[in-house]
Amino acid sequence: MTNDLKSFIADIPDFPKPGIMFRDISPLLKAPIAFRHVVNLMAKEVSDLKVAGIVAVESRGFLFAAPVAHEAGVPLILARKPGKLPGDCVRVEYGLEYGTDSLELKHGLIDSDSRIVVIDDVLATGGTARAAGDLVQKVGASVASYIFLVELLGLRGREKLEDGSVSSLVKY
């Protein structure tokens, strides 16, 4: 089924603006067998890495990271937009093409010196994944791997993620 995963991702031209080809994962989420296959592939990779947990990137990364963490039997830690987590948080600000954004982790959920996997749905320019990796490093842990459903090769986001291996199931 791995070669067939592209058939579960719809191409939406000119969204969210002209000239952009949006890769819509909704058909994959609607197909239980395909979704289960993706979760199994990601969970196998996580299990092979023997990590202390998974950092899921808001919000579509949650869709994949939660069942993968369950299958792999490792903790799930959420990387959220500012103001979404209670208590003491660590924050990383990162640049976007049109400004800046931030991600936060709740303090104390990741032990220093642990190895962590970062999971998100799409690797595009790498800015958001890089920010998640920086959060992991900021608390004294390391990124063992970044795992994505889709990678947009032309945007070269992988180049920003040199601190861990990078895996993607579908490449465009």
pLDDT tens, position by position, 22-73: 999 999 999 999 999 999 999 999 999 999 999 999 999 999 999 999 999 9
Crossing angle, helix 60-72 and helix 32-49, to 10 degrees? 60
* Percentage of residues of the chain with pLDDT beyond 70: 98
Instruction: Band the pLDDT of 96: cuts 50, 70, 90.
Output: confident
Mean predicted confidence (pLDDT) in 110-127: 96
What's the pLDDT at 80? Answer: 98
Domains and CATH numbers, the chain: 49-171 (3.40.50.2020)
Q: Is the pTM of this model over 0.85?
A: yes
Instruction: Determine the Cα–Cα distance for residues 96 and 94; give it in Å rounded to an integer.
Output: 7
* pLDDT per position as a tens digit, 8-30: 999 999 999 999 999 999 999 99
List residues with catalytic annotation: 60, 97
